[in-house]
DNA sequence: GCATTTCCCGACCATTCTGATGGGAAATGC
DNA sequence: GCATTTCCCATCAGAATGGTCGGGAAATGC
């Protein structure tokens, strides 16, 4: 029913990378500080994101991480899915038969899953950052 | 990210009650067998549903449970909410500031929550049973 | 008054999940 | 060859999940 801390951290890190100057690499340390994330925990997360095809990394002096694709083409849903395995699996494990309404309830939950999936896969990191800026502007005007 | 087993059982029990002849009371034993639910566990669940204003109960010989309202006016979302406390809290615990995109990501997840909430609160037990019957009919024609 | 059935506790338990932490191997740059 | 930084596996404590068990009180029907 919730998003895992791990996925939350992954989103933070991805957003920080997305907000950084394009082409710039950030090290785990910097990301951990900017996002207030435990370093070693973040390490695992970045690794997962890398293996998920989202990040590119470079070892050694001057190494670090950067997004492997433009922020416009990376969705919130994709990140959560990489980390948590799935996103909003309300229908997971629910039987499709065995008692009255079984198929119906499963279909219903599946539809809910589809909706959040669609929404979160349609929101890119760029969208999120823009929403953030729009919100700041609004706050300023008030 | 998932619906708890408890909520799943609650849905089963509610649907079984909804499918029964109106006005008929079912005992824990019957519900447990029809829904394949551990009896003592179900007891807790029915109690919660009763305190949530969904069920009416009667003690003693010939006692049991029945819905306190027509199936048309009880939603899937209501049941899950009573048992799990909330439904689809993707945005729960996500900060609204502290790093670039924080507000944006929170807003995004909140929107997803609103959508599943709307959907599941719009689906009544009656709807679910009907969907079930429609599906059976379809299977028959194939 | 006796059987039945819900009500309502509270304790316990096994397993899994979550949120980390630690230590070393392997690249890389100089 | 040495510092740096990622890679990767192993482990761990604590919480949550999904129950189980027991027992006594209170309705209700006969």
pTM over 0.85: yes
CB contact (8 A) between residue A132 and residue B108: no
- Average pLDDT, whole number, for chain B? 94
Give yes or no for residue A141 having a pLDDT over 90.
no
Q: Give pLDDT tens digits for A14-35.
A: 999 999 988 899 999 999 999 9
**Strand D neighbours with CB under 7 A?**
A 27-29, 40, 43-44, 46-47, 50-51, 57-65; B 4-6, 38, 40-41, 44, 58-63
Provide the pLDDT for residue B94. Answer: 96
What is d(CA B103, CA A50) in angstroms, rounded to the nearest whole number? 25
Closest by CA position to B69, among listed B84, B80, B57, B56: B56
pLDDT-derived band at B21 (thresholds 50, 70, 90) equals confident
Calculate what percentage of chain B has a pLDDT beyond 90.
85
Nucleotide nearest to A42 (CA to C1'): C20
For A81, phi then psi, to 5°, come to -65, -40
Residue B128 pLDDT > 80, yes or no? yes
- Pairwise CA distance, residues A82 & A94, whole Å: 23
Q: Does B126 touch chain A (CB under 8 A)?
A: no
Which bases on strand D have an atom closer than 7 Å to a protein beta carbon?
3-10, 17-22, 26-30
Half-sphere exposure for B36 (CA within 13 Å, toward CB): 8
pLDDT score of A67:
97
pLDDT at B16: 97
Beta carbons of A132 and B103 less than 8 Å apart? yes
pLDDT tens, residue by residue, B30-49:
999 999 999 999 999 999 99
Can you give the residue range of the structural domain that contains A47? 5-138
B140 compared with A123, residue with greater pLDDT: A123
Predicted local distance difference test score (pLDDT) of residue A5: 97
Reported confidence tier of residue A86, pLDDT bands at 50, 70, 90:
confident
The whole-angstrom distance between B140's CA and the closest CA on chain A is 15
Q: How many domains does chain B have?
A: 1
Query: Given an 8 Å threshold on Cβ–Cβ distance, is A100 in contact with B127?
Result: no
Q: Answer for the pair B6, B42: CB distance below 8 angstroms, yes or no.
A: no
Model confidence at B115: pLDDT above 70: yes
Cα–Cα dist B3/B81, whole Å: 10
Rounded mean pLDDT of A30-49? 98
Burial class (CB in 10 A: 0-12, 13-18, 19+), B3: buried
| CATH classification at residue A12 | 1.10.10.10
Q: What is the pLDDT of residue A142?
A: 59
Over residues B125-139, the mean pLDDT reads: 90
Percent of chain A with pLDDT strictly greater than 70: 99
A–B: how many Cβ contacts below 8 A? 163
Q: Which residue has the higher pLDDT, A91 or B85?
A: A91
Please answer yes or no on whether A76 and B100 come within 8 Å at the CB atom: no
């Amino acid at each position: 029913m919730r998003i895992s801390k791990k996925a939350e951290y992954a989103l933070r890190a991805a957003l920080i990378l997305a907000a950084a100057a394009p082409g710039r690499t950030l090290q785990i340390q910097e990301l951990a500080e900017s996002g207030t994330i435990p370093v070693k925990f973040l390490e695992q997360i970045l690794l997962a994101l890398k293996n998920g095809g989202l990040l590119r990394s470079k070892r050694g002096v001057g190494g670090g991480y950067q997004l492997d694709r433009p922020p416009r083409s990376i969705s919130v849903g994709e990140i959560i899915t990489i980390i948590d395995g799935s996103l909003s699996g309300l229908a997971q494990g629910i039987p499709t038969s065995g008692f009255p309404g079984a198929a119906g309830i499963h279909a219903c939950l599946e539809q809910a899953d589809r909706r959040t999936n669609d929404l979160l896969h349609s929101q890119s990191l760029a969208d999120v950052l823009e929403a953030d800026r729009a919100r700041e502007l609004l706050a300023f005007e008030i």
